[in-house]
């Protein structure tokens, strides 16, 4: 009889859970379990675990999963979920905000507002964690993470710690060039001193705009596809300011449904789960949107929602033949 994965893992001070139901904790509320879920107690616990964990064991780090589809077959290996010790927020005398990777983007924006530190208001419009914002260079309302980032602290697969500047990570639109095995621990953000009431006013404006234009009360994952680059749009003879939602609308994507998954009527670049969809339903819907846009405009939409884990059916064959990006 072969030992289960959890029996081959090092002892920890945090918590190891086998066959953990992580899909239910994503914003879409879909997806299979983690083979093993690890919740480290602190930075030292995480470093010791990584140093002793067999290198052949896959490691996946999850935040609040606000822009993620975990496939129905779940995630093999160890899923790491950072907790309270990785969510501290403070600032120095120069107004540089230090935020842990598990800190919610909204909490960082609100902290900065209370302290009279402007420039981080856009984070209030991103429903995720700082770690996720770093990994995908998240942005909203005219600003991106790279615009305010000075440096990030990361942990390597062997438990060692490194510090990288924004330039080191070669960040671009919804992209971070840092190798995926690095785990974000914290980041420093530059700010500008301003009256708290002015900063809070901008956060309030963002909240109203999100409520008016996005299905914020639904089971969704934020923007499904990234906006095309000006170069890609020119190559397809499309105006350089064309947004993804317009392309989806033009191919009949608004309200398009696959079982319990649909594209929002309110904002058609948002995918919804009516409570009965599977991860496969959501991914099939997204691939159908991509197929229609490719057929009509010759443009390959790039998924902004991250899709991870194992397929439960032959859908992997389908997506490979369609060239999932």
**Residue 297, token pair as written in the block:** 């405009």
Q: How far apart are CA 162 and CA 232, in angstroms?
A: 35
Give every CB contact of residue 193 below 8 A, 6+ residues apart in sequence: 95, 116, 117, 118
**129 secondary structure, DSSP code:** B
Q: Are 78 and 39 in contact (CB under 8 A)?
A: no
Give the E-state strand segments of the chain in sequence order. 15-20, 34-39, 59-62, 68-70, 75-81, 89-91, 97-100, 117-118, 139-140, 143-144, 149-155, 161-165, 183-189, 192-193, 219-223, 257-258, 261-263, 270-273, 306-308
**Please, what's the b/e burial string for 58-91 (b: 16 or more CB within 10 A of its CB; e: otherwise)?**
ebbbbbbbbbbbbbbbbbeebbbbbeebbbebeb
Residues noted as catalytic: 174, 223, 304
Residue 248: helix, strand or coil by DSSP? helix
Give the E-state strand segments of 40-169 in sequence order. 59-62, 68-70, 75-81, 89-91, 97-100, 117-118, 139-140, 143-144, 149-155, 161-165
What DSSP letter does each residue of 263-307 carry, written as one string? E-SS-TTEEEE-SS--HHHHHHHHHHHHHHHHHHH---PPB-SEE
């Amino acid at each position: 009889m072969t030992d289960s994965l959890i029996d081959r893992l090092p002892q920890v001070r945090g918590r190891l859970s086998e066959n953990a139901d992580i899909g239910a904790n994503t914003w879409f509320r879909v997806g299979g379990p983690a083979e093993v879920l690890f919740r480290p107690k602190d930075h030292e616990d995480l470093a010791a675990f990584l140093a002793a964990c067999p290198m052949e064991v896959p490691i996946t780090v999850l935040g609040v999963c606000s822009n993620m589809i975990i496939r129905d077959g779940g995630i093999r290996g160890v899923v790491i979920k950072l907790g309270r010790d990785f969510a501290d927020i403070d600032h120095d005398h120069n107004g540089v905000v230090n935020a842990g990777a598990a800190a919610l983007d909204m909490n960082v924006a609100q902290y900065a507002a209370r302290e009279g530190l402007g420039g981080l208001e856009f984070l209030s419009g991103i429903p995720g964690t700082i770690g996720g914002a770093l990994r995908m260079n998240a942005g909203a309302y005219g600003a991106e993470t790279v615009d305010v980032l000075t440096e990030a602290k990361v942990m390597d697969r062997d438990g060692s710690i490194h510090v990288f500047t924004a330039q080191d990570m070669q960040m671009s639109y919804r992209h971070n060039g840092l190798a995926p095995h690095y785990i974000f621990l914290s980041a420093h953000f530059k700010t500008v001193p301003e009256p708290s009431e002015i900063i809070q006013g901008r956060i309030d404006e963002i909240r109203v705009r999100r409520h008016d234009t996005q299905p914020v009360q639904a089971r969704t994952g934020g923007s499904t596809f990234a906006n095309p680059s000006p170069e890609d749009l020119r190559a397809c003879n499309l105006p350089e300011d064309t947004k993804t939602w317009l392309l989806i609308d033009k191919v009949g994507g608004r309200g398009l449904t696959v079982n319990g998954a649909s594209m929002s009527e309110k904002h058609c670049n948002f995918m919804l789960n009516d409570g009965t969809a599977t991860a496969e339903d959501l991914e099939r819907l997204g691939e159908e949107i991509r197929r229609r846009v490719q057929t009509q405009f010759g443009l390959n939409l790039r998924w902004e929602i991250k899709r991870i884990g194992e397929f439960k059916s032959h859908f992997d064959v389908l997506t490979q033949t369609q060239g999932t990006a």
